[in-house]
């Protein structure tokens, strides 16, 4: 059987399994195993012989799984996932929101701004958008609703802010991208800083504009969102603000270890992950906030999430091995270059593709499913893979709040008080989605936004 035709058939089978709601790890793993067996058993011009193909198939499956598990950068994933859950159990996240709430109390939409800034700070000490949205959703959404904020603004700001965990380092998606593309994790982390801060500033600006156009969405003085009487925004003294700053030191310390340590060359990304996790545990224990039950819960959730990521990535690695053998990607690239397609149109097509697929698949699934095809295509046109990584992660960030899947929206729905319809949360993220697309356009048109910091570190 022609290898390229076989690759297309196997890809179609994998997509069919996804449509049938089979978990993506099993889709990719099963499709890869069947594809490898047929590739070695059914050679062009010869009869099919499954016995002949069984030994090389098992060899590739075993060596790929073994080699993947022994991938050193992979050890960052459980460390950063654990850091996020330990930080939540140790109340580092709660203290961050409380401190920001004091400093933004007099601003229009101050609680929403504090929520977005809190998401940015939480993203800087963990790499998971879902963990960020879940932690801040449980803290910030009830607080905003209690103060009379409209549910659209309360839920939309946290759902959008939670996506910052995809872009602001340390991002788990950047780690997975680095493993599948052989890029430097350090350079990818640095490349995500300015786009992440740009997104964060844009979200704050979106809230300020929203509240200016619709003052009742975030009541301050006089009346609540439904017109009822409401109290003045609290006034905090200089002493209280200074005391609030004291609550930020755990986040600042962890941020210095992760970002500062990596940027200054003191730590490798893996070492920074290990040191910051140990620091978070020590901070939680010394302050008396991290109980034995909390630590057990953090480790349990970390183990489950890490296992899920590893199984998905292992299935994807097998799929990549099969696709490489069929050489379907070089053939597609050669055909595309033969058409004389303009590189700008190619990138535009890639962007549209990711926006569409982001509506129906989760971020990790999209990443591992598409990279075997997209990376050779982009590299063949001479685009920088670090820049492309930032573009892809930003596109996946957009996918976290776009219907019908919008994983962060469902997370916020689960964390919020009952009675808030899913449609209302999607309406709330619409304004932030517009901002995300503007930031994406800036990253595409001005690659230096992503590449400036990595260039300084070389």
pLDDT digits (tens, 9 = 90+) for 311-341: 888 888 888 888 888 887 777 777 777 777 7
The tokens of 267 are what? 């730590």
- Element (H or E) spanning 266, and its range? none
Q: Is the pLDDT of residue 225 over 90?
A: no
What pLDDT was estimated at residue 227? 37
CA–CA separation, 266 and 231 (whole Å):
49
Instruction: Report the SS3 class of residue 86.
Output: helix
Query: By the 8 A CB rule, do 251 and 125 touch?
Result: yes
Assess whether pLDDT exceeds 60 at residue 263: yes
Whole-model pTM? 0.81
Separation between Cα atoms, residue 302 and residue 197, nearest integer Å: 27
For residue 230, pLDDT beyond 90: no
Phi-psi region of 239 (alpha: psi -120 to 50; beta: other; left: phi over 0): alpha
Nearest to residue 177, comparing CAs of 260, 28, 36, 77? 77
Region 47-60 average pLDDT: 82
Non-local CB neighbours of 14 within 8 Å, separated by 6+ positions: 27, 28, 30, 31, 319, 369
The candidate with the shortest Cα–Cα distance to 114, out of 207, 197, 198, 199, is: 207
Who wins on pLDDT, 318 or 227?
318
For residue 452, pLDDT beyond 90:
yes
Q: What share of the chain is helix, strand, coil (3-state, %, to 5)?
A: 75, 0, 20
Q: Choose among 7, 27, 12, 15: nearest CA to 360.
A: 15
Given this model, what pLDDT does residue 1 score? 65
CA dist 218 and 207 (Å) reads 9
pLDDT score at 177: 92
- Strand stretches in 330-397, DSSP E: none
Q: State mean pLDDT over 246-260.
A: 85
Q: Token pair of 202, please? A: 């844009």
Question: Which range has the worst mean pLDDT, 18-27, 215-224, 349-358?
Answer: 215-224
């Amino acid at each position: 059987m022609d290898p390229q035709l076989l690759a297309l058939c196997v890809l179609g089978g994998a997509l069919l399994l996804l449509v049938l709601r089979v978990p993506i790890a099993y889709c990719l793993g099963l499709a890869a195993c069947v594809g490898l067996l047929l590739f070695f058993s059914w050679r062009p011009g010869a009869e099919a012989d499954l016995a002949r193909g069984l030994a090389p198939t098992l060899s590739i499956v075993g060596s790929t799984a073994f080699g993947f598990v022994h991938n050193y950068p992979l050890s960052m994933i459980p460390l950063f996932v654990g850091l996020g859950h330990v930080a939540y159990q140790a109340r580092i996240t709660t203290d961050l929101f409380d401190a920001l709430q004091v400093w933004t109390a007099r601003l229009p939409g101050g609680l929403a701004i504090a929520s977005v800034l809190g998401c940015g700070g939480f993203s800087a000490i963990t790499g998971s958008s879902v963990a960020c949205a879940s932690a801040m959703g449980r803290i910030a959404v009830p607080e905003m609703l209690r103060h009379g904020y409209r549910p659209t603004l309360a839920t939309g700001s946290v759902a959008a802010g939670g996506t910052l965990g995809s872009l602001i380092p340390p991002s788990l998606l950047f780690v997975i991208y680095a493993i599948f593309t052989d890029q430097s994790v350090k350079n990818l982390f640095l490349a995500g800083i300015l786009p992440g801060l740009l997104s964060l500033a844009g979200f704050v600006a979106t809230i300020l504009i929203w509240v200016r156009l619709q003052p009742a969405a975030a009541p301050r003085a006089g009346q609540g969102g439904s017109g009822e009487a409401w109290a003045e925004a609290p006034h905090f003294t200089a002493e209280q603000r200074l005391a609030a700053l004291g609550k930020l030191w755990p986040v600042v310390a962890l941020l210095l270890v992760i970002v500062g340590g990596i940027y200054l060359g003191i730590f490798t990304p893996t070492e920074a992950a290990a040191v910051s996790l140990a620091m978070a545990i020590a901070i939680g224990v010394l302050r008396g906030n991290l109980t034995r039950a909390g630590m057990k819960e953090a480790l349990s959730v970390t183990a489950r999430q890490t296992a899920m990521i590893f199984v998905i990535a292992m299935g994807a690695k097998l799929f990549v091995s099969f696709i490489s053998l069929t050489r379907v990607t070089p053939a597609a690239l050669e055909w595309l270059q033969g058409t004389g397609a303009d590189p700008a149109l190619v990138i535009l097509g890639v962007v549209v593709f990711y926006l569409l697929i982001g509506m129906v698949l989760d971020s990790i699934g999209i990443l591992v499913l598409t990279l075997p095809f997209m990376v050779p295509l982009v590299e063949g046109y001479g685009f920088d893979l670090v820049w492309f990584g930032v573009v892809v992660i930003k596109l996946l960030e957009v996918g976290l709040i776009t219907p019908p899947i919008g994983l962060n929206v469902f997370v916020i729905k689960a964390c919020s008080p009952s009675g808030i319809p899913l449609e209302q949360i999607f309406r709330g993220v619409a304004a932030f989605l517009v901002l995300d697309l503007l930031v994406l356009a800036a990253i595409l048109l001005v690659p230096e936004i992503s590449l400036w910091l990595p260039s300084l570190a070389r």
